[in-house]
Structure 1
């Protein structure tokens, strides 16, 4: 039977001590999550990947995790404790863990680390992420077609390139199908805080938004939209099907399962090496959740067609002509954005109002 250790706050040391009693021949794999595994969003989806590892390898592995780890010094403490207790591979699943990962990796060169959405690597540190912006483009098409007020609200977590890319990708597609559309962005400065997320959603709805997109991890915006009535939403990171068929009309699903299974397999067979992975719809790392019957059939078909064309490489969400917010030229007709620019994106495209916080 697979051995699992759940680590919570002050009991972490005791839980790790228990984990150390597991059979020595098991490959120990650790995870740290920025939110609770029950968030039904980002951390929940990563934990589905952890469970996929257990299902694939059974008694060959032992997995441990710590949930709700703040992005700061406490993350380094948790990572260090995992390494000391024998974890051979550790997945750190939030952007803000980057400094802690690099510091800990330097102290434990024999331990392998994987950092989600980061960009710093070392011989024992890999990075991985998904091209979420591809899914945001599909959401933008649906949002632009379905809005009646022409105001689309977007709840941002932190103003980092990953989030800015998503806002831009959604806006570009929404604008293509509805030239009258307007985006309003509220920055929540959190990945998971239901109260703040609900407040942001309500503020956007009060400002006229009848579509809410989010890059935060709880279902609070879905609940706020449901309470408001004629407002639609999209699931973030997981399907959030409890709110289907409306307000949640579709979703972006982050599917980490195969990546996690493959990387643990590489540790087991000795082939693991530091690398960078950035996959999207084509690999299945980004999935589009069921588009419900609340979406008109022609809009649904257009969204699925866009998804298929992105998957096939026939459409890139960032294809010119596109200007930057200040009107300066960025992409010429038919030109597509390179990965380097996308990875460092720190600007809005033309048409989005407001400033990106610094």
Structure 2
């Protein structure tokens, strides 16, 4: 991992691996805080070891990581990546990503019901597909409730800079936002200080902000990792897109319980959330995957 296992995105992978180990499905070792400049060396070190499946994220070294897979054809690699496999990909290199747009869309419906100013603030790390698709799905959900909602969108250029995220959120709140989309840590702190609701991402932060975080789009990596492990054991692992296992219909994402916000969200929104969730799971409603950079509107 390029970051500590406590980091929100990495934590979901780590949690899934620990779960599978507890179930007796795998033996699990890991390294954390590996810089991009040292990542290829770490990949090769694990590849030389007695491991069947190597999991990580290679957004910062897409080409170099694939070369490692070419050099170790008897190993299986499951890597977080912005690029899908193609004819030139090593056949032992599968990819995944947090395709939790379904749950993000549902949180947008809730946010759309809560805003009174009809301005929602959104603070993200970087405008990359992994972030963009969640923000855009959230926006689409909010527009289902109120088509004329405007959005203030900003990126802080970091995966972890809570003070900067907080400062950016304050600026959006000062510009009229009365609901915040907290893609990064620090945003919910600003919302809490100003007494407005926030929407969480990837993990449930309501226990830390019980009066602020209304709902969160949760990522569950267990279906992804289980599918990969079963393929390795069956000898059927190939270059494939495991991102689909993050879809709601596979159990890869969900809407966190409202918890402290039970009874505070308009019933109209809850009814639509229940309807859309049922339709998404049944395959009769599809949330659009939009990887384009989200922009400020209004």
Q: TM-score, normalised by structure 2?
A: 0.86
Matched, 1:226 2:170: no
Counterpart CA distance in 1 for 2:64 and 2:57 is 12
Counterpart CA distance in 2 for 1:118 and 1:251 is 23
Which structure carries more strand by proportion?
1
Matched, 1:86 2:54: no
Q: 1:311: which partner in 2?
A: 281
Q: CA deviation at 1:284?
A: 0.8
Of 44, 57, 62, 1:98 maps to 62
- Report 1:220-259 matches (<5 A): 220-229=186-195, 231-243=196-208, 245-259=210-224
Matched, 1:267 2:232: yes
Gaps of 5+ in 1: 1-31, 319-341
Matched, 1:118 2:64: no
Gaps of 5+ in 2: none
Counterpart CA distance in 2 for 1:250 and 1:281 is 16
- For 1:209-264, what per-residue CA distance to the aligned partner results, in whole angstroms no more than 9, with x for missing partners? 22111333x3x2222221221x1112211112313543111111111113213322
CA contact (8 A) 2:113 2:265 kept: no
Equivalent pairs counted in the alignment come to 289
Counterpart CA distance in 2 for 1:198 and 1:108 is 44
Q: 2:72: which partner in 1?
A: 108
Of 139, 149, 158, 1:171 maps to 139
Matched, 1:198 2:166: yes
Q: What is the RMSD computed on CA atoms of the aligned residues?
A: 2.4
Greater Rg, structure 1 or structure 2?
1
- For 1:21-70, what per-residue CA distance to the aligned partner results, in whole angstroms no more than 9, with x for missing partners? xxxxxxxxxxx2x332223x211111111101211226xx4312222334
CA contact (8 A) 1:98 1:120 kept: no
CA contact (8 A) 2:128 2:293 kept: no
SS in 1 for 2:270: helix
CA contact (8 A) 2:206 2:212 kept: no
Q: TM-score, normalised by structure 1?
A: 0.73
Matched, 1:298 2:268: yes
